[in-house]
């Protein structure tokens, strides 16, 4: 691809989350579903860079982000997305926008924790950081069979050097972009969690 923009997925992710962070920091606007789902969609290319083993995670994640993108055609803000499901008594219903939002938010946390661990872990292997991030974020919500499948997939991860190459970055440029996502995603994640918590919806389901 000759397009410099699409060739640098880490940059695109970091920039999109910085924009969401700016919206949140302005405190005068609510986060809209469209830019949120767009930012989340930019995370999808990471799966491909992590190898074939994470294809099934990609399929599930992409479907949920797509559902949010569809929702943005008729629902303005993340707030009203939750309110609508509360009114319809469908917050926890399989496939609901609110439920998909919670899952996608977990994906954002997974990427944040993964980047944090990559940044502080010596060596060229991703298995340690990826396993720890999964244990922390998704494993508590996944059944035994899925956890086993994910554990098996961890052996098929590329090396750190290969991942950066797949992302068209070198170690130092990748570090800058990962740090940038870690910083910008924190308030975005907190914002979404607060939407659930202030409505008494909980996060552990
Ligand atoms: C670097 C290593 C990456 C590890 C990624 C670990 C991914 C976990 C595997 C997910 C398999 C997806 C199978 C489907 C799971 C669904 O049961 C649940 C519940 O969904 P629902 O019942 O509401 O329809 N889906 C999820 O838990 C969301 C999974 C999204 C995975 C996103 C991970 C993002 C990590 C990116 C790393 C680059």
- Ligand 1 pocket, 40 CB below 6 A? no
Predicted pLDDT at 4? 53
Domain count for the chain, please give it: 1
Distance 52 CA to ligand 1 centre (A): 14
Q: What digits encode the pLDDT tens for the residues 137-151? A: 999 999 999 999 999
* Domain presence at residue 85: yes
Predicted pLDDT at 3? 56
Structure-block tokens of residue 46: 């990471």
Predicted pLDDT at 53? 75
* Domain presence at residue 205: no
For residue 159, the cross-strand partners are 125
Q: 160 is in which domain, residue-wise?
A: 9-197
* Domain presence at residue 2: no
Predicted pLDDT at 197? 98
* Domain presence at residue 202: no
- Ligand 1 pocket, 125 CB below 6 A? no
* Domain presence at residue 103: yes
Distance, CA of 185 to CA of 17 (rounded, Å): 6
- Ligand 1 pocket, 56 CB below 6 A? yes
Predicted pLDDT at 27? 87
Distance, CA of 180 to CA of 52 (rounded, Å): 27
* Domain presence at residue 132: yes
Q: pLDDT below 50 — which residues of the chain?
A: 1
DSSP assignments along 20-85, one per residue: HHHHHHHSSSPPBHHHHHHHHHTTTHHHHHT-GGGHHHHHHHHHHHHHHHHHTTT--BHHHHHHHH
Q: What digits encode the pLDDT tens for the residues 83-117? A: 999 999 999 999 999 999 999 999 999 999 999 99
CA distances from 89 to 86, 96, 105, 183, 198 (A): 5, 10, 21, 35, 17
- Ligand 1 pocket, 178 CB below 6 A? no
Which CATH number belongs to the domain containing residue 79 in this structure?
A: 1.10.3520.10
Atom of ligand 1 nearest to the CA of 108: 34
* Domain presence at residue 3: no
* Domain presence at residue 158: yes
Residue with CA at minimum distance from ligand 1 atom 30: 61
């Amino acid at each position: 691809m000759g397009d410099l923009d699409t060739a640098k997925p880490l940059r695109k992710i970091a920039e999109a989350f910085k924009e969401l962070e700016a919206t949140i920091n302005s405190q005068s606007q609510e986060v809209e579903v469209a830019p949120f789902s767009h930012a989340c969609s930019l995370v999808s290319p990471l799966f491909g860079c992590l190898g074939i083993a994470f294809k099934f995670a990609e399929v599930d994640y992409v479907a949920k982000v797509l559902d949010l993108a569809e929702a943005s055609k008729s629902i303005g803000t993340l707030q009203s997305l939750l309110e609508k499901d509360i009114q319809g008594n469908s917050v926890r219903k399989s496939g609901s926008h609110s439920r998909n939002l919670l899952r996608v938010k977990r994906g954002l946390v997974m990427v944040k924790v993964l980047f944090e661990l990559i940044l502080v872990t010596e060596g060229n292997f991703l298995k340690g950081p990826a396993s720890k991030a999964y244990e922390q974020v998704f494993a508590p919500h996944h059944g035994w069979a899925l956890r086993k499948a994910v554990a098996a997939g961890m052996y098929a991860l590329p090396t750190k050097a290969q991942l950066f190459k797949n992302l068209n970055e070198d170690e130092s440029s990748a570090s800058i972009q990962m740090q940038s996502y870690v910083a910008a995603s924190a308030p975005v994640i907190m914002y979404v969690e607060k939407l659930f918590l202030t409505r008494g919806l909980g996060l552990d389901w």
